[in-house]
Amino acid sequence: MADLVPLMLTVDDDAHLLTLVNHYAKRWGYAHQTATSVRQMWQRLDKVTPNVILLDIQLEDGDGTALVPELKQRFPHVPVIMITADATVQAAVKSLKNGAHDFHCKPLNFDHLRIEIDKAVEHNRLLLQVKGFQGAARRTDFHGMIGQSEMMRTVYRLIETVAPTDAAVLLLGETGTGKELAACAIHECSKRRDGHFVAVNAPAIPHELIESALFGHEKGAFTGAHQQHIGFCEQADGGTLFLDEICEMNYDVQAKLLRFLQDHVVQRVGAKSSKAVDVRVIAATNRDPAEQIRKNKLREDFYYRLSVVSVDLIPLRQRHGDVELLTRYFLDLAAAKYGRDMSSVCPEAMDVLNSYDWPGNVRQLEHLIDRIVITNNAAKLTAEMLPPEIREASPGAHLEAGSEFGESGEQSIPSISQMERALIVKALELSNDSVPAAAKQLGLSEATLYRKIKKFGLTRSFAKG
Amino acid sequence: MTNREDTYESESVKEHRRKWVKLKAKYLYALPEEIAHIELSLSKKDYAPAKKCAHRIKGTSATFGFGEISRSAARLEQLAASHCEQEYSGAVNEIMRLVEHEIRLLDFQRSPDLDRNERDANG
């Protein structure tokens, strides 16, 4: 798990004691917040979710022991350690029965307290990790791929059909659409699943080393070849070789791979003999193959050999309904990775995420959620946590901005075209994607609305009736 | 362990000690006002705030290492809880005497202690 600074919240009505605990918390490597009353504690908890709470029993405006059940209900994974100057067995029993993690008497022994806090935070971290991974595992729909949109279901069906064969597969799709995940799914659904899945990212390997990386070399084959190396093609024997970004490979390497695809034989650099291997090849590119062939970046014969079956991975903006699933999945995963308890998304934030275009596709969404979880220790993902470029790109943002023109002279004014697009999106949303209903709301004919939908590239499948 | 790590470790411990002494002094200097608040509340037979304040002193003073002040505060808390009017002025005088004694002790200890820290840091 990534090492994020754990947050400790101490609730006590003595400011001097809070200062002292603050001094120790920082010394122990914790971020620390304090509250001097129950009211202030809830205010803090509206904004952050700590990893551990130190709670005094006698507070100005409430009894700490009585607060524990509500705290446990709202933050089930956050351990609560009671601190009190009234060291009675009854108080301790009552606190623990109510769900407190531990009970400490004043005077506070900071050595003991540190051990207990560290243990409690570790406990919290493990609980969050289990919860996150369980949630993420539950959301996986098809061999690690997530998405229930009709387009993704078509992809799953195609993968299931092609996987049992040994046919070469070419995966096409924009960057971040999950080409490696799809290759993995094909491998997992095939009879080769017990063999190796070897992924080769061609652009990451220097041109002068790619032949050796793919086919291997013998000791002494060239300067620097101090020992024998088994290449990726041989490593994948009995399994699957995934060649990513094939258009970035130079022509010579493409020719050698073409020969390998035809003969299924590898000859290590510097070797006298060759070896037959049983490898299934899956390749991928984020470029248009036809265009790359025209530009002499992709050999036509290599392309035809690889594209026995082509699978198009769909850009996220066209996967209607999948953004929400993916957001929840990545939220679970990030919460587990970084020990955070952020488990829900507010509807406004989800609206913004749903209406964004996602040029970086699923990977962009994953990185965004990671960043939000790292930088916000809160229970809920809110619209304010989203970066301005995403908030401002959502059609709703223009509509909201439009409604404030009269109040703020500093608002940037969207173009008529942006406003028109935003209104159409809003009307379609309000009419559940029914074009006739949306056209009626907008005062347009259906044909005009269809023309505008096409013009603005609103590519979702809209109901005609 | 290298000498540099030794030096770093001792610097960190020294810094911690300096901060601890500072916090302790700040707390001690604030106590007379809190005790005056207890005395005022008791004189007005307003027992609840007096009890709360005495309870707070009982816990925090013990954490700062002032055991006798803590015990004295516990007695004041009990007196406030039982609405005992006769004995409270004696208990207030007693805790004030203990606080003043600790302040004198701290003032006496603080300057040479800081001087010694300075000497350690320089030499």
Q: What is the pLDDT of residues A324-335, one digit of tens each?
A: 999 999 999 998
List the single best residue of A12, A59, A106 to mutate versus B (max B Cβ within 10 A): A106
Task: State the CATH number of the domain containing residue B111.
Answer: 1.20.120
- Residues A383, A258, single domain; the answer is no
Among residues A424, A355, A341, A426, the alpha carbon closest in space to that of A386 is found at A355
HSE toward the beta carbon, residue A189, CA cutoff 13 A: 21
Classified as helix, coil or strand, A463 is strand
Is residue A427 less than 8 Å (CB to CB) from chain B? no
The answer to whether B59 contacts A17, with C-beta atoms less than 8 Å apart, is yes
Q: Which residue of A has its CA nearest to B34?
A: A14
Give A6's DSSP letter: P
Q: Which of B27, B58, B63 sits opposite A108 (nearest CB)?
A: B63
pLDDT digits (tens, 9 = 90+) for A292-347: 999 999 999 999 999 999 999 999 998 888 999 999 999 999 988 888 888 899 99
Please indicate, yes or no, if residue A305 is contained in any of the structural domains: yes
* A196 and A93 in a common domain: no
3-class state of residue A287 by DSSP: coil
> Nearest-5° angle of CA A158, CA A159, CA A160?
90
Question: Nearest CA to A228 among A242, A243, A215?
Answer: A215
Q: How far is A339 from chain B (nearest CA, A)?
A: 29
Instruction: Report yes or no on A144 lying in a domain.
Output: no
Q: How far is A138 from chain B (nearest CA, A)?
A: 47
pTM over 0.90: no
Q: Which of residues 34-73 of A touch B (CB under 8 A)?
A: 58, 60
Contact A106 B55 (CB under 8 A): no
Cβ-contact A342, A380 below 8 angstroms: yes
Residues 6 or more apart from A416 whose CB is under 8 A from it? none
Residue A174 has pLDDT above 60, yes or no: yes
Give the number of residues written for chain A. 465
Supply φ then ψ for residue A230, to 5 degrees: -90, 125
A60 interaction partners in chain B (CB closer than 8 Å): 52
Token pair for A346:
């507010």
Average pLDDT over residues A207-220: 89
Same domain for A300 and A160: yes
A168 closest CA partner among A285, A290, A310 = A310
Domain holding A70: CATH number?
Answer: 3.40.50.2300
Is there a single domain that holds both residue A308 and residue A331?
Answer: no
Q: How many CB atoms lie within 10 A of CB A336?
A: 23
- Is A20 at the interface with chain B, CB within 8 A? yes
Say if residue A61 is in the same domain as residue A110. Answer: yes
> Rounded distance, CA A303 to CA A193, Å?
25
- Kindly state whether residue A367 falls inside one of the protein's structural domains: yes
Gap between the Cα atoms of A238 and A278, Å rounded: 5
Q: Is the Cα dihedral A352, A355, A361, A362 positive or negative? A: positive
pLDDT for the residue A393? 76
User: Which residues of chain A are within 8 Å of residue B55 when distances are taken between CB atoms?
Assistant: 58, 85-86
Among B31, B55, B69, the strongest candidate for a mutation testing the A interface, having the largest count of A CBs within 10 A, is B55
- Of A117, A138, A159, the residue at which a domain comes to its end is A138
Which residue out of B14, B24, B26, B56 would a mutagenesis test of the A interface target, given it has the greatest number of A Cβ atoms within 10 Å? Answer: B56
For residue B5, pLDDT beyond 60? no
Task: Specify whether A185 is located in the same domain as A229.
Answer: yes
- pLDDT over threshold 70, residue A202: yes
Contacts of A84 in chain B (CB under 8 A): 59
Distance, in angstroms, between A119 CA and closest chain B CA?
Answer: 22
A166 and A105 in one domain? no
> How would DSSP label each residue in A412-457?
PPPPHHHHHHHHHHHHHHHTTTBHHHHHHHHT--HHHHHHHHHHTT
Minimal-distance CA residue of chain A relative to B17: A23
Q: Residues A184, A309: one domain?
A: yes
Question: Residue A464: is its pLDDT beyond 70?
Answer: no
CB contact under 8 A, B52 and A20: no
Which of A266, A282, A313 is the last residue before a domain boundary?
Answer: A313
- On whether residue A2 sits in a domain, the answer given is no
Residue A398 forms part of a structural domain: no
Give the model confidence (pLDDT) of B99-108 as tens digits.
Answer: 999 999 888 7
d(CA A84, CA B3) in angstroms, rounded, equals 42
- Expressed as residue numbers, the domain containing B96 is 3-122
**Count of CB contacts below 8 A, A vs B?**
48
Range of the domain at A63: 7-138
Domain with residue A365: its CATH number is 1.10.8.60
A23's tokens: 């001094």
pLDDT for B86 beyond 80: no
Number of domains observed in the structure of chain B: 1
Q: Are A149 and A203 in contact (CB under 8 A)?
A: no
Both A237 and A92 in a single domain?
Answer: no
